Amino acid sequence: MGKISIKDIAKQAGVSSATVSRVINNNGRFSEKTREKVLALIEEFEYSPNIVAKSLRTKRSQSIGVIVPDISNEFFSQVTLAIENYCFTKGYSVFVCNTNEDEEKEKLYLKDLEAKGVDGLIYISGGTLDILSHISKRKIPIVCIDRKPKSKDVIIVESDNYSGGFMATEELVRVNCKKIVILKDYRNVTSAMYRFKGYRDALKKYGLPIDPTLVLSINISVNSARDAILELIRTNIAFDGVFATTDWLAVGALDALRQSKIKVPGEVKIVGFDNISITEYSCPKITTINQDKEKIGRISTKKLLEMIDGGPLSDSNEDIIIPVQLIRRETT
């Protein structure tokens, strides 16, 4: 029975190979019952430590780093939660690093996570930093979420932002909007650019002109959105629809319209983007584009762990696009 493998032990014990590895290493998650069962089988089959040594990959920290702008934003916290849940099932732990989109902080974190020996990195909504130039030559697996980074050969998992932008705009056209404002990130991050392209192409499809005075490139915050819409109203620029490229921007727009006694959806319609819970409990409830945050987190992590397990480190052709859905509520 000298040729028995970890797989065989796992099968006999009714657990995964990863669990057997963890029991042998006495590192990670398994119940006392599992431990006893696995150890009994190892003894029974005289499982050889040499085979163990071969089968187990070494030099793993069983941890990954997640670099995220701000987990107090629900979109980010839900993606991070999904990452962490998937990691848990695979015996990995997650360092969570909030950068507040500060490039210096991002650089320091990259350095620190490398020093801590993480097995991989997930980089959420970075995109302004050329990350690959800030980690060492040791090729550490990286998956980017939401925004394509400047570094080219990195896998990205993102929502279908183009279709989302198109659907949001089409929804506003459907309810007879003719002058549609877009509130978008002033930076050239890919997610904002794709949503803008969707907006542009939907207007084109329905024969509506693109009016530059209605394209508002702003900071991504409730206050910036509120101020931008108040300014439009103050300067008497007519509009009857708002495509807010994030839900928090939609909340800001809604607040500005309420302050100005402009009826939503009576006089102005709004569509957001993300589908976070504020859209379900605001008043009126906000029509939005759903991003599948659980799937984005899960697929990214699955991909990363495959890379850690020896899959290809990068494949520039491989953008993973997650479908989005229109959630019709009360603002359209």
Binding segment (CB under 8 A) for its own copies, from list 50-58, 184-192, 279-287, 305-313: 279-287
Closer residue to its own copies, CB minimum distance, 87 or 203? 87
Q: Provide the minimum distance between the beta carbon of 332 and its own copies in the complex, in angstroms, as a whole number.
A: 17
What's the token pair of residue 3? 């040729």
x/- track of binding to its own copies for residues 181-200 (CB under 8 A) = --------------------
CA distances from 298 to 143, 149, 190 (A): 12, 20, 21
Q: Provide the minimum distance between the beta carbon of 146 and its own copies in the complex, in angstroms, as a whole number.
A: 16
Residue with tokens 């797989």: 7
Closer residue to its own copies, CB minimum distance, 81 or 208? 81
Q: Is 1 an interacting residue with respect to its own copies (CB under 8 A)?
A: no
Cβ neighbours of residue 328 under 8 Å, at least 6 residues apart? 171, 287
Gyration radius of the chain's alpha carbons? 24
Report d(CA 258, CA 263) in Å as an integer. 7
49: left (phi over 0), alpha (psi -120 to 50) or beta: alpha
Closer residue to its own copies, CB minimum distance, 81 or 233? 81
* Residues 22 and 28: beta-carbon distance below 8 Å: yes
Q: Examine residue 323 and say whether the peptide bond preceding it is cis (omega within 30 degrees of 0).
A: no
Binding segment (CB under 8 A) for its own copies, from list 6-14, 47-55, 58-66, 129-137: 58-66
Q: Provide the minimum distance between the beta carbon of 276 and its own copies in the complex, in angstroms, as a whole number.
A: 9
28, 39, 197, 262: which one binds its own copies (CB under 8 A): 28
CA distances from 33 to 4, 13, 15 (A): 22, 10, 11
The Cα angle at residue 279 between residues 328 and 177, in degrees rounded to 5:
50
Cβ neighbours of residue 99 under 8 Å, at least 6 residues apart? 67, 68, 69, 70, 105, 106, 109, 126
Q: Is 108 an interacting residue with respect to its own copies (CB under 8 A)?
A: yes
For the chain, the first-to-last Cα distance in angstroms comes to 69
3, 58, 115, 212: which one binds its own copies (CB under 8 A): 115
Q: Provide the minimum distance between the beta carbon of 299 and its own copies in the complex, in angstroms, as a whole number.
A: 18
112, 153, 267, 309: which one binds its own copies (CB under 8 A): 112
x/- track of binding to its own copies for residues 120-159 (CB under 8 A) = ----------------------------------------
Footprint of its own copies on residues 70-99 (CB under 8 A)? 70-72, 74, 77-78, 80-81, 84-85, 88, 91, 93-98
Closer residue to its own copies, CB minimum distance, 91 or 127? 91
38, 251, 270, 304: which one binds its own copies (CB under 8 A): 251
* Residues 182 and 215: beta-carbon distance below 8 Å: yes
Residues that bind its own copies (CB under 8 A): 26-31, 61-63, 70-72, 74, 77-78, 80-81, 84-85, 88, 91, 93-98, 104-105, 108-109, 111-113, 115-116, 251, 255, 277-278, 281-284
